Amino acid sequence: MTIIINKQAASLALLSFVVFLHPLHVCTVDTNQTSPRPPAIIVFGDSVVDPGNNNAILTMVRCNYPPYGKDFVGHRATGRFSNGKIPSDLIASQLGIKEYVPAYLGSELSAYDLITGVSFASGGCGFDPLTSQLVSAISMDGQLNLFKEYKEKVKAIVGEKRAAYIIKNSIYFIVTGTDDLANTYFPTPFRRFEYDLPSYINFTVQSASTFIQKLYHLGGRRISVANIPPIGCLPSQRTLAGGIERICDPTYNQAAMSFNSKLSNEAQRLNGTLPKSRIRYIDMYTPLLDMILHPSKYGFVESKRGCCGTGTFEVTQTCNSLTTFVCEDASKYVFWDSYHPTERGYKILMGQLTQRYGASIN
């Protein structure tokens, strides 16, 4: 997809960029040190960090309609799978880069949009290529191809030397893998014909490792990869596998923990083998599980159902303003729909991660 850059906007963006890179601009990582603010945040993954790329492709996995975006600026349904901001927005805002990370596809991006970072994420994708194929999402390799195109656009805007600086010093944020287990392995027979569960987990972790190495060879150095959440406690999975009482399914959660353990070990191994890189493993499982199991501790009143509809199965097309009821105050819910947290849920989650990993998550 061709992205048109207005010449006047590009000139203003370049002027802003010069100011942006002034050495006085730093971000506080903790009380004892500071580090240069990264020039951009570049995002890969699934619906957790898709700000609207799926709007531009032929897929059923979309949410560019109300009530999605209910609490977003202007109450706009941008394609973010929540009622408001998503984790990539919160990280970019926290770093002082910008308030929102735009989708690479589907809208006209200014020079400033591009040089400060975009998201290539596509709702429904996974490390397993089949996961993307099942719902016509952009695969992780497809996202890397878009990244290659993006690099050329950045080079055309700021020149080869500055583009190399941006690519090297940006933060790369990867969030995917949930759909591999929740939507591909457990509910469909395709991979279960080929793999038992431990073998499939090994396959997806190796796919994750391959992706990180490809990203490294394309210039990424500060790479954060998030683990997958307690999928057995997602409202939709409680409905599908939790029985009449909709309990957290232990098999699903154990599978997530096994994947996470292996991913953590692989991230540590890559840190020792990829020169001048920092591969950081981000644990989202533990803090999110605590929010789900102890909602009142965080000021929530509901963690077993989403805000949209009955909250037990509604997601994407079944969460809509025509056929479903929407709760009045989403901030009281951990989950927005049956699969994705609310903006407040994400804010608390990212706050927990900041305390553990530092302001930059990398």
Q: Which residue has the tokens 């600026």?
A: 73
Q: Give Cα 173 to chain centroid, integer Å.
A: 7
CB atoms within 10 A of CB 320: 18
CA distance 106 to 162: 26
For residue 350, the surrounding DSSP H or E stretch is: helix 343-357
Catalytic residue chosen out of the listed positions 50, 180, 337, 338 = 337
Please give the DSSP secondary-structure letter assigned to residue 223: E
Identity (one letter) of the amino acid at 233?
A: C
Kind of pairing between the strands at 33-36 and 26-30? antiparallel
CA distance 45 to 251: 24
47 included as an active-site residue? yes
For residue 197, the surrounding DSSP H or E stretch is: helix 197-217
Catalytic residue chosen out of the listed positions 47, 82, 236, 277 = 47
For residue 174, the surrounding DSSP H or E stretch is: strand 171-175
16 included as an active-site residue? no
CA distance 311 to 353: 26
Catalytic residues: 47, 337, 340
